[in-house]
Amino acid sequence: MLPEVLESCPLLGIRHLQALLIFITITSVYIGRLNAGVSVVAMTNAESTNPDFPEYDWTEAEKSYILSSFYWGYVITQFLGGFLCKLFGAKTVIFWATFGSGVCSCITPLFIGWGGWGTYCAIRVLMGCFQGLIFPSIHQHLARWSPPKERNRLGALSHTGIECGNVLSMFVSGMIAKGPMGWPGISYISAGVAFASCALWFVLSANNATESRFIGEAERHYIESSLKHGVNYHHAVIPIPWKAIWTSVPFLALLVARCAESWGLSTLQAEIPAYMNGVLQMDIKDNATFSALPFLAMWIMSYVYLVSADILLTGKWLSLTALRKTFNSMAFWIPAATLIGIGFLDVDQKTMAIVLMTLSVGFNSGATIGSSLNSIDLSPNHASILMGIINTAANAVPIFTPIVVGQIVSDNGNRNQWQIVFIISSVVFFVGNCIFLAFGTAVSQPWDAEDYLMRPQPGLALPSTSSEKSKSKEIDQ
């Protein structure tokens, strides 16, 4: 990169605006995705919420189906999201997916009274289908807008919307359910946030720097020259090297790590309200407050990880690969230890349980820098496809975690049953990270090349060549 190009490029520009828009979009869809954990408790326990609204007598198994049903739809549209993004661009796909998710939130209270828990499941499945299109498109959007030296920073900043959405979905949902709007208000406010996000995205986003109406020439040149792609890159559809992807050891290691992360975190996201209501005997208001506390810690810790990553990379203390493995180890192994501790606590030790749960979820935020962004490292050109594969597998996991919990936990107040749930999650966290440490990398893979399938006998996706390692060192620097 020429020094004069770097000097003329604004420190804050449209590329940062795109990261902010992604942050807002992720926050809005996570609010709609995760508020079911609080909503279900409110709908089935009128004494702890606003009694002016209907109460439903759903079994633990039916509630577990409601919590898992989102992921039934979410997993089936991940591949579709990757393909649609390549055909129509991230702007169009993300807009309509977010809008559809908002519509699902809006109609939820209207249809539950008519069809009960089965209708609630159906709406959650449809919402999952819409949201399944979003993250593959987000990763493609980041790949098109992020210069390699800023990719880690912009990606991590935008993904803090996950933690923000977690906090708002739990804390605000509990306050709404307790207030005059009752549990229906949770869905209506979630819909309003989604529609507002759509409006901002429609006006301010662009598929790439060359299409933006607001970007300056210096920033456009900085972004496009740093990506080092062909002349027709933004209009061409690069063939997908399926065989090379599925034989890539670093990609398969990433796939395992993301599935392990999904198991542990989805258990916490979906089951914290039930655990605190049953074992710790908190009402819905306290439940919502303390359920949100771990994810508030997660949000704060995500910025601690981000600043630490910038310092370590800028000072060349760690390579990008070493940084990803270090942060992923902290994000997986610390929660693995604290989850085991949580399982041995009861109502008389609720303060310690909350502290350990806060530490567990807070340290887990390092998984964004540790492994979530790794698909862009491996292949910027096929980031949406890789994310589609990873999210399909990783989000098939939360289909089963609430069902597994429902089979193990027949009595919400039984500490021994929750103990089994937390130990299983700890083992999954530990083993998943071991595999990522052994085989993961942040080096761009040979099959990422635009002309890879045009080369004679491209072969299998073997470990990176020396030229690829040199390319990685340039990015790290």
Q: Is the pLDDT score of 284 beyond 60?
A: no
Separation in Å, CA 464 to CA 43, 150, 448, 469? 53, 22, 11, 7
Q: Is the pLDDT score of 286 beyond 60?
A: no
| pLDDT score at 149 | 82
Tell me: the pLDDT tens digits for 376-400?
Answer: 889 888 888 898 889 888 878 877 7
Q: Is the pLDDT score of 255 beyond 90?
A: yes
Q: Give the mean pLDDT of 301-330.
A: 91
CA–CA separation, 148 and 227 (whole Å):
7
Please state, as a whole number, how many other Cβ atoms lie within 10 Å of the Cβ of residue 204.
17
Residue 472 pLDDT class (50, 70, 90 cuts) = very low
Separation in Å, CA 397 to CA 88, 141, 182, 245? 29, 25, 31, 21
For the chain, first and last CA: distance in Å? 12
Q: Is the pLDDT score of 318 beyond 70?
A: yes
Q: What tokens were used for 100?
A: 């559809």
- In sequence order, the 6+-apart residues with CB closer than 8 A to the CB of 405 are 64, 267, 270, 271, 421
User: How much is the CA Rg of the chain, to the nearest whole Å?
Assistant: 22
Tell me: the pLDDT tens digits for 428-440?
Answer: 999 999 999 999 9
Please state, as a whole number, how many other Cβ atoms lie within 10 Å of the Cβ of residue 369.
26
Report the sign of the C-alpha dihedral through residues 77, 82, 84, 90, in that order: positive
Q: What tokens were used for 469?
A: 């390692």
Separation in Å, CA 83 to CA 96, 239, 240, 372, 407? 15, 11, 10, 20, 37
Q: Is the pLDDT score of 202 beyond 90?
A: yes
| pLDDT score at 468 | 42
Report the phi/psi class of residue 440: left, alpha or beta, with left for phi > 0 and alpha for psi in -120 to 50: beta
pTM of the full predicted structure?
0.75
Average pLDDT, the chain: 82
Of the two residues 93 and 8, the one the predictor is more confident about is: 93
CA–CA separation, 342 and 344 (whole Å):
5
Using DSSP, state whether 49 is helix, strand or coil. coil
- Tokens 């800028």 locate to 314
- In sequence order, the 6+-apart residues with CB closer than 8 A to the CB of 90 are 137, 138, 140, 141, 144, 205, 207, 384
Q: What is the DSSP letter of 395?
A: T
Q: What tokens were used for 223?
A: 């972004």
Q: Of the ranges 115-124, 258-267, 269-278, which one carries the lowest mean pLDDT score?
A: 269-278
Tell me: the pLDDT tens digits for 399-418?
Answer: 777 778 878 877 767 777 88
Q: What tokens were used for 461?
A: 């996706």
Please state, as a whole number, how many other Cβ atoms lie within 10 Å of the Cβ of residue 239.
12
Run of H or E residues at 288: helix 284-314
Instruction: For the chain, list the domains and their CATH numbers.
Output: 3-476 (1.20.1250.20)
Question: ∠ at Cα 89 (86, 94), nearest 5°?
Answer: 115
Q: What tokens were used for 456?
A: 């004679």
| pLDDT score at 64 | 79
